[in-house]
Amino acid sequence: MHFPPPPPSAHPRTAPLPSRPPYHGRHAPPPPRPHRWGLRVGLTAGLLAILAGGAAGVKLHYLPTGAVLPGLTVDGERVPEEATPASVQALAAARARALLGRKIALALGGHDKPALEATLEELGVRVDVDRTASLALRAGQDGDLITRAEAVRDAREGRVDVPLFTYVDRDAAMAKLLALKEVEDTQPVSARLDLEKHETIPERDGHYIDADETIAALELAARDRRTETITLPVKAFTPRISSAFLKSLDISEVVAEYETHFSRGGEQRRRGKNIDNAAQKLDGLVISPGELVSFNDVVGERSEENGFEKSWEIFKGEMVEGVGGGTCQVASTFHAAILFGGFDVLERLPHSRPSAYIPMGLDSTVVYPAVDLKVRNPHPFPVVVHAKSSGNTLRVELLGKARPVRVGFGREVLETLPYKRKIEEDPTLSGRTVLVKQHGIKGFKIKRSRVFTYPDGTKRKEETTDTYPPTTEIYKVPVGFDVALLPALPGGEEDPELGGNPSPAPPSARGPSSAGADATAAVTPSDVAPESAIELIDAPGAHAPSASQRDPAKTIWLRR
């Protein structure tokens, strides 16, 4: 049997029900109950009569007639009833500016002062003004008549507020947080061995600001005006080496060692202190099997806060006074020990000139944070670094339970490169005084060889090439000085291309010449009377090259 469909209704909430399918079974279907349909239709008709048939004023009172609901608020501010879409957009934009200009403090637990104070906008919070205005203009416009009438009533009673649509620009927020993390995050410090005192220096946990949780807190702060301070979520993480692990180490064998020498006298005093400081930071380092170690990470920034002092160092090919001079000698001595210990050298650069304290090919330059020495332990056991500076000697030992390989190091000079001269006029100089700002050193191209000999007699060889560019000779001379009086460059070549050459000296300054008073020909030092001899004085930081820098042996072979 089919039940007839109910009468059509003008209201969506009382839309016709689907017809009943035929009943198939042994028993007859239940009798129809038409009185329920009549009740539903009656209620609907009555409601429609109130809304549509009672009076036009009733309909106008309960349904929105303007651009927005009367009484509607956006982010807590009432929208004028005569508002237009443009004015709603302007209101949303004004509320957005007020929100984004609000300052928030980012604080670390246990600190009196906040780590950072910034506006929500500076911290990456954004407002979608267009979407906010669109939601305000749509309020009360959707749904059936009853729903819309209820929306009008709620708005008039102050219960309809359109919040600002906020979100966090992750890139902008991370830029602020990463700058903060750079200052506040701390790396864990592994436990170390004090090999002199036979003590264990305990480990320290590292701490970092959780950026993801901070961004989530910013999202909540943008929606809650009561929030003035966000306590930064700080997480701890443990170091790689614990005190308990160190107690189990076997460091009975010297896997490899190397030592270099330095001076502590005069202007070298501060350089010696920097060597002491860097060696202390390296001493006791544990390198696990397969672990990569960065010299810069271990020693840290070359700053006065990190214990380093100003001293002479090489910068862009010239000797300058900088903080941390002498650290390269520690890196070079460590690199030499690493080479003889059979370690993998993953990142290393030679100096810009041969060093006086170590043979070419064994050195390693480091500049924090850009130029690093990175090595890896290929052995199946941990190795402990023992670095100690005593008197004028720096010694680095690698300690472990065995010596798994013997290493020989060879160097061959493939090419020698002549150096050039640069001349700078200095108005503070007079007469024939010449200041040697930098001594010239020849450049070299060398071949480095490392031969590994294992306990079973097998051997392996690796070869690499280093280039040390020539070190420019720099003289500072009085204005108008006769450059012909300067010593000749090796090979007798002049260098016209580097610039800074002085203006020609007047004839009266050139000394006696057979060409007469008006002669302008160059005068060689051998033609000049003794009283015209020049006085060469080394500038601070300028040291004459050692014999190994001036004329290194063509080949060397070292074994440890």
Residues with Cβ < 8 Å from 267, sequence gap 6 or more? Answer: 311, 312, 540, 541
What is the Cα–Cα distance from 485 to 533, expressed in whole angstroms?
8
* Least confident interval from 21-35, 350-364, 488-502, 513-527: 513-527
Structure token pair of residue 450: 């490392």
Read off the pLDDT band of 65 (50, 70, 90).
Answer: low
Residues of the chain above pLDDT 90, percent: 67
Residues 348/351/355/360 CA torsion (nearest 10 deg): 60
* Least confident interval from 93-102, 480-489, 508-517: 508-517
What is the Cα–Cα distance from 191 to 236, expressed in whole angstroms?
16
Per-residue pLDDT, 198: 76
β-strand partners of 210: none
Q: Answer whether residue 38 shows pLDDT above 60.
A: no
Residues of the chain above pLDDT 70, percent: 80
Average of per-residue pLDDT across 36-43:
40
Structure token pair of residue 51: 């809304």
Q: Where are the domains of the chain?
A: 73-172, 185-241, 249-404
Structure token pair of residue 34: 């038409």
Give the sign of the dihedral formed by CA 394, CA 400, CA 402, CA 407: negative
Q: Answer whether residue 328 shows pLDDT above 90.
A: yes
Per-residue pLDDT, 2: 39
Query: pLDDT: is 181 or 66 the higher one?
Result: 181
Single out the residue of 449, 419, 409 nearest to residue 354, CA to CA: 419
Give the sign of the dihedral formed by CA 246, CA 251, CA 254, CA 260: positive
* Least confident interval from 224-233, 238-247, 407-416: 238-247
Q: How crowded is residue 481: how many other Cβ atoms within 10 Å of its Cβ? A: 26
Q: Answer whether residue 513 shows pLDDT above 80.
A: no
Read off the pLDDT band of 100 (50, 70, 90).
Answer: very high
* Least confident interval from 290-304, 325-339, 478-492: 478-492
Q: Answer whether residue 51 shows pLDDT above 50.
A: no
Q: Answer whether residue 35 shows pLDDT above 80.
A: no
What is the Cα–Cα distance from 337 to 345, expressed in whole angstroms?
11
Which helix (H) or strand (E) is 220 found in, with range? helix 211-223
Single out the residue of 48, 71, 53 nearest to residue 154, CA to CA: 71
Which helix (H) or strand (E) is 206 found in, with range? strand 206-209
Q: Answer whether residue 136 shows pLDDT above 70.
A: yes
For residue range 269-306, list pLDDT tens digits in order. 999 999 999 999 999 899 999 999 999 999 999 999 99
- Residue 487 to residues 175, 475, 482, 527: CA-CA distances in angstroms? 56, 11, 12, 13
What is the per-residue DSSP string for 42-61? HHHHHHHIIIIIS-HHHHHH
For residue range 106-119, list pLDDT tens digits in order. 999 988 899 999 99
Per-residue pLDDT, 506: 41
- Residue 544 to residues 271, 355, 500, 540, 547: CA-CA distances in angstroms? 17, 12, 22, 12, 9
Read off the pLDDT band of 64 (50, 70, 90).
Answer: low
Which helix (H) or strand (E) is 339 found in, with range? helix 327-340
Read off the pLDDT band of 67 (50, 70, 90).
Answer: confident
Give φ, ψ of 328 to 5 degrees: -60, -30
* Least confident interval from 25-29, 251-255, 390-394, 451-455: 25-29
Query: pLDDT: is 397 or 510 the higher one?
Result: 397
Q: Answer whether residue 15 shows pLDDT above 60.
A: no
- Residue 449 to residues 119, 376, 409, 438, 529: CA-CA distances in angstroms? 59, 19, 6, 31, 52
* Least confident interval from 58-67, 78-87, 484-493, 500-509: 500-509
Q: Answer whether residue 3 shows pLDDT above 90.
A: no
Helix, coil or strand: residue 526: helix
Q: Answer whether residue 241 shows pLDDT above 60.
A: yes
Single out the residue of 445, 255, 467 nearest to residue 352, CA to CA: 467
Helix, coil or strand: residue 96: helix
Q: pLDDT averaged over the chain?
A: 84
Single out the residue of 348, 461, 462, 466 nearest to residue 412, CA to CA: 466
Q: Answer whether residue 240 shows pLDDT above 60.
A: yes
Query: pLDDT: is 190 or 62 the higher one?
Result: 190
Per-residue pLDDT, 500: 44
CB 550 within 8 A of CB 441: yes
